[in-house]
Structure 1
Amino acid sequence: MIELTTLRYFAGAFETGTFSQAARANEVSQPTVSAAIQKLEQRLGGALFLRAKSGLQPTPLAIRLYHDTVESVAHLSSLDQRLQTQPQQRVRIHCAPDVLLQSFAPGLNALRWKSPDLTFAFTDDPLGSDLAFLSEACVPAGHGFILLTEEPFCVALGRFHPLARAAGLRLEDIVDQALIHRPYCPDADRLDPAAAKNGASPGPAAQAMNDAQLLDLVAAGLGIALVPRSHGEGREDIILRPFIHPEKTSRRLGISYRKSVFASTLAKQLADTNPLP
């Protein structure tokens, strides 16, 4: 019989894409997860993951195992809490359009295993959220903030863009390039090369509703964009180049939280699980 703990490690690796994040979600060491997965592969007679630049790639065997066991693992993991008839608590989460939620997946996964009585719901209103993943400049009034990282903006280009070979790009290098518009980003106007040069933008090549969509538009060759450096992780269809600018061009990313004991405790747990670089 396969142990429940081993299946939890497997589910964590499947959902987060790395052994290290699965280890953090389960509060164990990475070698513990790696060893458990290796024994599971020996028991099942086949590989469960292939290693790639973007992280762990599940094999067909892993996909079958996950879909056959994930509901049972979650059900059994929360059995003792459910038997104690603990009431469910709803957590309202806001993720800003210029933030990629995948960076926070390990922390949310850890909360799910640690507190099965929590239920999660997304909201478009940061002010009405319990937790929000956003830039410090966008923290709602009355909310606390835990800084996780400060990262520079880079120029995102399609893989075969003529400027993709440059070591770094200055304002004058990109001022005549088609820039994809980001009306939801608080730094978009300040970083708009055309507006900085002429005082007005000639009009965007395309417009995105969030940064996940923005990266797809860049990959499709519809324009370039100024994005945080972390947005290039795991993407082989776009190239990021340093943006050389006389002013400081970076963002301070973290977790904002409603000033209640419940929300602040969850925010601190997430920050401990998600030490972004």
Structure 2
Amino acid sequence: METGMFDLRALKYFVAAYEERSITGAAKRSYIAQPSISAAIQNLESSLGTQLFERAKNGLTPTADGEKLYPRAKALLAESLAILHGFREPPQREMRVRIQDDLPVHRAGPLIAMLYEHLPTMKLKLTQEGEAFDLKLVSESCRLDTEWMQLLWEEDYVVIVPDTHPLRFKTHFELTDLNDAPLIERPYCVLHQMFTQLLIQKNIRPDIRASATREEAVLGLVELGVGISVVPQSHCDGLKNVVIRPISFESDFKRRVGLACAATNIEMIALIGSMTKKLTESYA
């Protein structure tokens, strides 16, 4: 490389290392191997005739020249991107995302926002059961052996009761309280069969008032006063005319949800890894 010359890719890797404060973080963010990041930064330092980072076991610390270069590098990269956009439209990538059937679409909001942050030009396609996918938001119990998964949140199940029903006065439910209770079934829920078997074992027989094929219908029926239902706690956001009560299970009856992809899809695993911290904070 000639003295005083450097490429935009080296600046991009410098910015990633500066913002991540580590070669490892920059490599994950840029989807390339760590040695490529290190080599690019070293070549950049050689071209500029200065050291840009202090390197230590706990990461990188920008030097004074590194601090000086950062805003200029950001501006130059932004300008180069503007030049490209001025002459051609960037290729649009299709991102196929499957949302588990018993998850309200709004629960995927933080994920979708994060995907657009990482892939601004992507075209989002929500796929159905049985269709090909790149990523899926799914319960841990539905992960296949051929899939890799990163958990995002864990939650309890609760009872939702119309605010006009006498059961609204109960502050806490036991399973036995569901005996003869007007229940709305959720047969599409991945834990429905386990829940049903649990009731049978306890000889608990709810009064089944309705059965729905999607979560929005169940929540709507409870709001209308048709009956009660047992749902994941996060599904209660924004409900009207409903009270929410905890319920005790003798076993560990929780829902654990995360992002999954094919275990061989290294690119998607890296993408999930780069989003995990912010996503877990969003879903906390």
Given that 2:158 and 2:246 are in contact with CA atoms closer than 8 Å, whether structure 1 keeps it comes out as: yes
Could you say what secondary structure the match of 1:103 adopts? helix
Residues 1:197 and 2:202 are matched in the alignment: yes
Change in 2 beyond 3 A, CA 1:185/1:108: same
Aligned mates of 2:131, 2:144 — CA distance in 1: 5
| Pick aligned residue for 2:92 from 77, 88, 105 | 88
**Does 2:281 align with 1:273?**
no
Q: What residue number does 1:209 align with?
A: 213
Report if the CA contact (8 A) 1:228-1:251 is conserved. yes
Check conservation: 1:147, 1:252, Cα contact below 8 A. Answer: yes
Q: Which residue of 1 aligns with 2:11?
A: none
Determine which structure has more spread, i.e. the larger CA radius of gyration: 2
Amino acid at match of 1:148: L
Amino acid at match of 2:277: D
Q: Percent identity?
A: 26
Task: Return closer, same or farther for 1:202/1:161 CA change in 2, 3 Å cut-off.
Answer: closer
Aligned-partner Cα distance in 1 for 2:180–2:83: 61
The reply on whether 1:125 has 2:132 as its aligned counterpart is no
Residue of structure 1 equivalent to 2:106: 102
Query: Which residue pairs with 2:173 in the alignment?
Result: 169
Q: Deviations over 1:61-107 (max 9, x none)?
A: xxxxxxxxxxxxxxxxx966745654222111111121123233133
Name 1:43's counterpart in structure 2.
Answer: none
Q: In structure 1, what is the Cα distance between the partners aligned to 2:165 and 2:83?
A: 55
Counterpart CA distance in 1 for 2:97 and 2:117 is: 17
Question: Cα distance, 1:160 vs. partner?
Answer: 2.0
Q: Deviations over 1:161-213 (max 9, x none)?
A: 211222210011112112212221121122236534338x6773211212222
Preserved CA contact (<8 Å) 2:179 2:207: no
- Counterpart position of 1:19: none
Q: Which runs of 5+ in 2 are unaligned?
A: 1-80
CA RMSD of superposed structures (Å): 2.5
Q: Deviations over 1:96-144 (max 9, x none)?
A: 1211232331331232244222111111126621111111001134111
Gaps of 5+ in 1: 1-77
CA distance in 1, matches of 2:211, 2:84: 46
**CA 1:237/1:131 → structure 2, altered by over 3 Å: closer, same or farther?**
farther
> How much has 1:156 moved relative to structure 2?
1.4
In structure 2, what is the equivalent of residue 247 of structure 1? 251
Cα distance 1:122–1:171, how it changes in 2: closer, same or farther (>3 A)? same
- State the TM-score, normalized to the length of structure 2: 0.62
- Looking at structure 1, the residues matched to 104 and 146 of structure 2 have their Cα atoms a distance apart, in angstroms, of 24
Q: Compared with structure 1, are the counterparts of its residues 244 and 121 closer, same or farther at alpha carbon in structure 2 (3 Å cutoff)?
A: same
Pick the aligned partner of 2:163 from 150, 159, 162: 159
- Asked if 1:233 is matched to 2:226, the reply is no
For 1:126 and 1:158, the matched residues in 2 are separated by 36
